Amino acid sequence: MSPYIGPEIRGTPDNGVAFPKLEQFHISKMSNLKSLSGLEKGDMPLLMNFRVVECPKLDSLPSCLEHCMALTNLHIEHADSLEAIDNIPSLIELEIRENSKLKMITNLRRLEDLKVINCLLLDIVQGVPSLRAVLLNERKSAKFPEWLQPEKPFMLRRLEIVGNEVLLDSCSSATAPHWSVIQNADHVWANLTDGSFYFSYSKSSGNIHRSARSLAQTSLHSTPSFTMPIAPQVEDVVSMDEVISSNEQIGQSTRRRWMRTDLLFTALLFVAAHIFFLSTKY
C-alpha cells in the first residue's frame, strides 16, 4: 500500500461534496501511512469524530479538518511522527495518547476538554481560550510539564493528574513549586499510577485533602528545623585567670567585711562592760 493517500480518496462525487453523510472517520494500524490529503473544503460536512490509532509515520493531519464545522472530537494515539495539532476551530474534545514527537497544540479556539497521556515532548498548548478541563497522565515522567504552566494561567474547572509521587509532590501543597497550577483550578484530583487517591483540592473552600501516603511522603522529605548556636563574641569570653582573679577579689572583700564586723562587736562589748561597771560602783 502506498504511504500517501491523495485525490483518489475523494473520487468524483455527484453533488461535489465527498462523504456528505459521514459522521465518524477512523484510521487504524496503517503502519506505512505518511500523508492523507485530497479532501477539499466542504467535504465531510457532518463529520463529528476523527480518530487516528497506530499510524507511526503519519506526520500531519488532513488540512480539510479545518473546514469540518461539525467536528467536535479528535483522538490521536501512537502517531509517532506527528509534531503539531492546530487550526481545527470547531474542536471541543481532544485526546492525545503516546505520541512520542508531539510538541505543540495551538489555535483550537473552542477546545474545552483536553486529555494528555504520556506525550512527553509536548511543550506548548496555546490559543485555547475555552479550555476548562484537563486530564494529565504522566506515568513515564516525574517532571511537571511546561505546557501546564503558561504565562497566562488556564482557568480550569477541573484538573485531573495521574503520576508518581515525585510528580504529585511537586504540586500537592501551598509550598510546592507548582502549586500555582493547582490553585487556579476549581477542582483538582490527583491519583497515583496504581489508581490510588493522593490528594484533592477545592478552590471554593480552599481545602486540600491528602492521603496518609501523601502526608508521609511530605514528612519524609521535609527538612527538620535546626538553629546553629551563636558563638560568643571576643569581649564575652572570660579567661580562667580572670575567673581566679575575680574569685580572689571576692574572697578578700568578704574577709574585710568580717574584720569590720568583729571590730564593731568588740567595741560594743567594751562599752556595755564599762556601763555595767559604773552602775555597780554608784
Look at residues 82, 79, 40, 44 and name the one whose alpha carbon lies nearest to residue 63: 40
Tell me: the pLDDT tens digits for 132-184?
999 999 988 889 999 998 888 899 999 999 999 999 999 998 899 999 999 99
Q: Print burial letters for 126-145: b (CB count within 10 Å at least 16), e (below 16).
A: eebeebbbbbbbbeeeeebb
Structural domains in the chain, CATH included, are 1-131 (3.80.10), 132-223 (no CATH)
Quote the cell numbers at residue 142: 516525574
pLDDT of residue 227: 39
Radius of gyration of the chain, Cα coordinates, nearest whole angstrom: 42
Cβ contact 117:137 at 8 Å: yes
pLDDT of residue 221: 54
Tell me how far apart the alpha carbons of residues 8 and 122 are, in angstroms, rounded to a whole number: 34
pLDDT of residue 231: 42
pLDDT band at 118 (very low <50, low <70, confident <90, very high): very high
Percent of the chain with pLDDT over 90: 62
Q: What is the mean pLDDT of residues 7-12?
A: 85
Tell me how far apart the alpha carbons of residues 226 and 173 are, in angstroms, rounded to a whole number: 22
Look at residues 147, 165, 179, 279 and name the one whose alpha carbon lies nearest to residue 215: 165
Higher pLDDT, 92 or 266: 92
Cβ contact 125:150 at 8 Å: yes
Contacts of 219 (CB under 8 A, 6+ apart): none
Q: Which amino acid is at 155?
A: M
Tell me how far apart the alpha carbons of residues 114 and 100 are, in angstroms, rounded to a whole number: 17
Tell me how far apart the alpha carbons of residues 146 and 144 are, in angstroms, rounded to a whole number: 7
Tell me how far apart the alpha carbons of residues 132 and 155 are, in angstroms, rounded to a whole number: 7
In this structure, the number of other CB atoms found within 10 A of the CB of residue 219 comes to 8
Global pTM reads: 0.76
State the average pLDDT for the chain: 84
pLDDT of residue 252: 59
Residue 243: is its pLDDT beyond 50?
Answer: no
Residue 250: is its pLDDT beyond 80?
Answer: no
